[in-house]
Structures are given as C-alpha cells and as structure tokens.
Amino acid sequence: MKKTVLITGAAKGIGRAIAIKFSKLDYKVVINYNKSYELAKQLQSELLKENKDIYICKADITKKEEIENLVNFTLEKCGSIDVLVNNAGISKANLFIEDSIDEMNEIIAVNLMGTLNVTQTVLKKYMINKKDGAIINLSSIWGITGASCEVMYSTTKAAIIGFTKSLAKEIGPSNIRVNTVAPGFIMTDMTSNYTQEEINDFKSKIPLDRVGNTDDIAGVVTFLASDDASYITGQVISPNGGVVI
C-alpha cells in the first residue's frame, strides 16, 4: 500500500524538491502551501503526470484551526500520515538589538510553534494510535553553530534540535522516529538576498567547494523516512558540504 507524506511549505524551494522526490518514490503527497497557490498548483499538475495521488492544501501553520484542517484533509484524502516533514520556515537578517517584539514573535510562531503544533496535531490525530511514523524537522547549520545577524532564526532552529531529541525519546516507544535535517547554504528564495560576493565568500569556506541545491536536502529527507533509517531517531544530519563538521 502507498504511504502518505505531508510536507509543510512545499510549493517552492527545499519543500518542493522533497515533494518531487517522495512522488517519484510513489508516496501519496500532500503539498501544504500558505501564500503560493499558483506554485503549488503548478507543482501538483507536474507531479500528477506520474503519480495520481498528489494533493495541495492551504494552511498557515501559525493558525491552529488551519493546521487541524490540513491534517483532517490529509487523512480524508489519503487515509494515513506515515511521514511528516516540517519544512515551512522564514528567516530574517537583522541585528538582534534591532529586532522588534513583533518580528521575534513572528519567527517563533512559524519556525518553532508552527512545527510544534503541526507535529502535535499529526501525533494526536493519527501516529500515536497507529504506533508508526517518521517525522523529519528542518533545522539549519545556524541552529548548530549560531549565526550573527540571524539570532532569532538561529534560536528557533536550535530549539527544533532540542524538540527533535526530546520528542524522539518520548515517542520512540510508540515506534515513531523523529529526526532533524540541518542544511548548510542552499540556493532558494530564502537565500536570494545574498550578494554574489557573499555567496562566493561562503563557498570559499566549504570543503566540497559548492553551495548546496535543494536535491542535496531532499535525498536526506527521503532516506530518513525510509526503512533503511529504521534504527535512526533523535539525530541531526547536516548536509552542508563539510562547512560544519
């Protein structure tokens, strides 16, 4: 029987690559989007050529009610949620002393509370009773090392690692695995505000001598969801070209 994956923020960037990879592996795929309806629709049409079980669902992951709808929609359409990928996230480069309370709350609401609320809803509505599942959370190398001028972003991404480790211990006995993928520099809209000079400078510090692409991350996510990773939980895997070892 086909398995189902729910991916948050999957209309573009890393989430999009993850959706394509799971579709090729013949999963039922639910692509969550918030504002990018056109991109989500386009991705769905593309994937439907090879896989009939591709769904899109709007939900702002900062809103509890929309999360409930997203999870209910997935269960109604697909009958299960075998894999959850908490990919949706935002970033903002700022000096910490210039971050307003509203900006701080926003990044916490999406990157941290969004991930926590989606996970809790999926666990309560399906995975705990099923006693099966894999959850993959997107963190960042900045969540491991910390980053100047991205203090709030790094804080939320570090919290994701703490969440992953703690939850892995709590729900391991229910046969649910939880892992984190902490990418290095990946070319997406999120990194599009970097100048070529800044990208070259970052690249010069990467042992594998290139910045990453979205497929570098998608492959790690599908591996962590697979049976080949059945003894891996609570771990942080960081595809970063060797810039953080």
Report the alpha-carbon distance of residue 163 to residue 138 in Å, rounded: 11
Q: Are 34 and 40 in contact (CB under 8 A)?
A: no
Answer yes or no whether residue 15 interacts with ligand NAD by CB under 6 A. Answer: yes
Q: By C-beta, is 87 or 121 nearer to ligand NAD? A: 87
Residue 158, by phi and psi: left (phi above 0), alpha (psi -120 to 50) or beta? alpha
Q: What residues form DSSP beta bridges with 137? A: 86, 180
Residues forming the active site? 153
Q: How many CA atoms lie within 13 A of 42 on its CB side?
A: 8
Q: Which of 97, 89, 85 is nearest to 31 (CA)?
A: 85
Secondary structure of residue 53 in the 3-state scheme: coil
Residues 84-103 within binding reach of ligand NAD (CB under 6 A): 87-91
Answer yes or no whether residue 127 interacts with ligand NAD by CB under 6 A. Answer: no
Q: By C-beta, is 148 or 230 nearer to ligand NAD? A: 148
Report the alpha-carbon distance of residue 181 to residue 216 in Å, rounded: 11
Answer yes or no whether residue 185 interacts with ligand NAD by CB under 6 A. Answer: yes
**The one among 4, 23, 34, 119 contacting ligand NAD by CB under 6 A:** 34
Q: Which of 50, 17, 44, 42 is nearest to 30 (CA)?
A: 44
Q: By CB under 6 A, which span of 46-54, 58-66, 69-77, 124-132 interacts with ligand NAD?
A: 58-66
Q: By C-beta, is 122 or 138 nearer to ligand NAD? A: 138
How many residues in the shown chain lie near ligand NAD by CB under 6 A? Answer: 29
Answer yes or no whether residue 215 interacts with ligand NAD by CB under 6 A. Answer: no
Answer yes or no whether residue 137 interacts with ligand NAD by CB under 6 A. Answer: no
Q: Which residues bind ligand NAD (CB under 6 A)?
A: 8-9, 11-15, 34-36, 60-62, 87-91, 110, 114, 138, 140, 183, 185-186, 188-191
